[in-house]
Amino acid sequence: MSVVDEAAVQEYNAFGPWVTAVTGPWDVPPLFASHRIDFDAARLILKFPRPESRRDLLAGMNLYDYLVVVTPASITVLKRHGDQVADGTFALDQLATISSGADLLDGHLLMTFVDGSSYSIPYNGSASATMARLVDTVRGMIGSARRPSLVGRAAGPRMPLSMDALGREDVGLANAANEVFSAENDLDVLSAAGRRIVTPRPGLLGDLRHRFAPTTLHGSVIAVTTKELVILSRVRWLSTGNAPDLSMRRTVIRLDRVTEITAEPHSQHPEVTVVAVISDQSRFELFVGSDSAVITALVQHN
């Protein structure tokens, strides 16, 4: 057996659904090995596996779909297209939003950049701690915002949140917010709201749907630091039916890249307002109750 064959077998034997940190050239998947990686400058390098079982793959196949390289100056995303690689490298200053969240084992890392480029990278929910490490690594390298801070505007409840702050069905969300924000020294909560049933605009079809499958506006905790808007929410803002939602997503939006914030009523549910945070060509939407004080706080940030 050749050395190359042995390396392929070793990679195959180590393959699993987990997202893995790359510590040196020996960890780089063969498909990405020809791309120059500055290991001395890199703060974190992660390889994302194909979302397939090992039994459906073979040694020597390309087992990884993405390689993400984070340095103090840039974020590089190498993406597999068959046996080819697409290389996207962006200055860290061009990052608008970074978000990670999972519904059970269905996770997605989302990164958007001010030129409109975006990446939605799937991952197994078992890698949630690794995704949190990635988000925190990026946050730690972002400088203070050049725009006026939102801190102190329409401040909501103080941290830590009490067990009943969001209601019994969102205790897990409150606990997650307390855990995420436990080390934050410059954080201010703008709003903390639990889930609620929202009614559609009058109409026979909407009334029937609401009767048998009511729409839930899910809870969220929206906070700010001196440089970021930080949102803890479910993966979906709205859902129908009565099934419990235990998903979790954290979104970080850079305040210094925000160019506009708008608020518009939801097209089907008048009790819901859609707040769009726009960073040049990047757009992130959050859904809140139309009576939420966070709407005024965010829109006045323009």
Q: What is the pLDDT of residue 302?
A: 62
* CA distances from residue 292 to 187, 238, 266 in whole angstroms, order as listed: 19, 16, 14
Q: What is the pLDDT of residue 1?
A: 40
Q: What is the pLDDT of residue 200?
A: 87
Shared-domain flag, residues 48 and 122: yes
| Residues with pLDDT less than 70, the chain | 1-4, 144-155, 203-208, 210, 301-302
Shared-domain flag, residues 178 and 286: yes
CATH code of residue 207:
2.30.29
Domain span holding position 268: 168-299
Number of domains in the chain: 2
| Stretch (H or E) spanning 13 | helix 3-14
Q: What is the pLDDT of residue 241?
A: 81
Shared-domain flag, residues 110 and 177: no
* Residue 171 neighbours by CB distance under 10 Å: 16
For residue 156, being part of any structural domain is answered with no
Q: What is the DSSP letter of 147?
A: S
At 191, is the secondary structure helix, strand, or coil? Answer: strand
Residue 79's beta-bridge partner residues? 66, 86
pTM assigned to the model: 0.92
Residue where a domain terminates, one of 125, 140, 155: 140
Strands 282-289 and 188-193: unpaired
Shared-domain flag, residues 72 and 175: no
